[in-house]
Amino acid sequence: MNYSTHYSPGPDLLKDRVILVTGAGQGIGKTAALAYAQHGATVILLGRNQKRLDAVYDEIVNHGHPEPMALKLDLAQAGDDDFQGMAQAIFEQLGRLDGILHNAARFDGLSPLEYQSLDQWMGTLRVNLAAPVALTRACLPLLTRAPDSTVLLTSETHGHQPAAFWGAFAVSKWALEALVTIWAQELAVHPNLRMNVVIPGPVRAPQRLISHPAEDRKQLPESTRLMPLYLYLMGPDSRGHSGEIFEAQMS
Ligand SMILES: NC(=O)c1ccc[n+]([C@@H]2O[C@H](COP(=O)([O-])OP(=O)(O)OC[C@H]3O[C@@H](n4cnc5c(N)ncnc54)[C@H](OP(=O)(O)O)[C@@H]3O)[C@@H](O)[C@H]2O)c1
C-alpha cells in the first residue's frame, strides 16, 4: 500500500512507551530514534558501533527527552541466548517493551549473483531476516504483555520488486513480506500486537549512498521526511493494521 507521509502526530504520541530501534547509530535508524524520543518514548538504541550509539544517546539527553538505553550487539553474531539476555535486561531495567523498529541492515553493494559468496549470503540473511525473527521472538512475552505494541520491519523497494544485481539483499528484504504475512496471522490471538513492513524509498541516508554513488545527494529527501509515517506505524493510530506493507510516498 502506498502511504502518504502526511500525518500529524501529537507531541505525546509515544509517552511512557519503550521502543527498541536496531541500527540506531546513524541514518534512518538514528532519525527514528530521535523522533520517537521527541514524542515521549524511552528508546533502546541497538547497534554495533558504541561511539555512534553514545552520540545518539547524548543527543537525546541534551534535548531533554527520556533517557535512552544503549545496547551494543552485533546482529551477525548474536544467538538466541544473546537475544534472551537482551530481553531480560530490558525487563529488568525498563519493565516493559511497546515496540521494535527493525531497521539495521547489511548491504554490500550491487553485484551479479555469480559473484556473491555463500558467506555473503549467510551474513546478509542473518542480519536482515533471521536476526529480526530471533530478536522479536525473544521479546514476544514483553510485547504481548504491553497494552498496545508494534513490530515494524524495514524492507526496500527492490525487496518488493526484485531486480538484477540486488542479489542476497533483495531476497532478504523480499522474505520479510512473507514473514509479516505468516506472523501477523499467528499473532491474531494477540490483538494488542501488530506487525507491519515499511518501505522507506530513497532518502539521504548511508545505504542509498552505497547503492547510487553517482546520484546528486542534494536531490534526495532527508530521512526526517519519513518520520510522520514511522511515528504513525509505531503509535496507537495504526491500531487495526497488521500484516501490511506500507510504502512511503513523499509527495
Ligand atoms: N537509505 C535509503 O534510501 C533506504 C531506502 C530503502 C530502504 N532502506 C532501509 O532502511 C534501513 C536503514 O538504512 P540507512 O540508509 O539508514 O542505512 P545505514 O545507515 O547503513 O543503516 C544500517 C544500520 O544497520 C546497522 N547494522 C548493520 N549491520 C549490523 C549488525 N551486524 N549488527 C547491528 N547493527 C547492524 C548499522 O549499524 P552500525 O552503525 O553499528 O554500523 C547501521 O546503523 C535499512 O534497513 C535499509 O535497507 C534505506
Computed over every residue of the chain, the mean pLDDT equals 96
Return the amino acid letter for 18. V
Give me the long-range contacts of 156-162 (CB less than 8 A, separation at least 24): 156/105, 156/199, 156/200, 156/207, 157/199, 157/201, 157/202, 157/247, 159/199, 160/199, 160/245, 160/247
pLDDT in tens, 124-174: 999 999 999 999 999 999 999 999 999 999 999 999 899 999 999 999 999
CB–CB of 185/243 below 8 Å? yes
User: Average pLDDT of 197-212?
Assistant: 92
Phi/psi of residue 195, nearest 5 degrees: -135, 125
User: Quick one: pLDDT at residue 250?
Assistant: 77
Query: Band of the pLDDT at 234, cuts 50, 70, 90?
Result: very high
pLDDT above 90 for 5: no
pTM of the model: 0.98
Domain range holding 104?
A: 2-249
CB 156 less than 6 A from any atom of ligand 1: yes
| Average pLDDT of the segment spanning 4-29 | 94
pLDDT band at 249 (very low <50, low <70, confident <90, very high): confident
Domain count, the chain: 1
Q: What are the pLDDT digits (tens) for 75-127?
A: 999 999 999 999 999 999 999 999 999 999 999 999 999 999 999 999 999 99
For residue 27, the ligand 1 atom closest to its alpha carbon is 16
In sequence order, which residues have a C-beta less than 8 Å from that of residue 58 and are 6 or more positions away? none
pLDDT score at 4: 63
pLDDT tier, 64 (very low <50, low <70, confident <90, very high otherwise): very high
pLDDT tens, residue by residue, 178-189: 999 999 999 999
CATH number at residue 94: 3.40.50.720
pLDDT in the model for residue 160: 87
Q: Does the CB atom of residue 132 touch ligand 1 within 6 A?
A: no
- Most ligand 1 atoms within 8 A of CB, residue of 20, 21, 28, 198 to mutate: 28
Backbone torsion region of residue 131, taken as left when φ is above 0, otherwise alpha when ψ lies between -120 and 50, otherwise beta: alpha
Say how many Å lie between the CA of residue 183 and the centre of ligand 1: 23
Cell digits for 236?
Answer: 496507537
123 Cα–ligand 1 center, Å:
14
Q: What integer is the mean pLDDT of 221-238?
A: 96
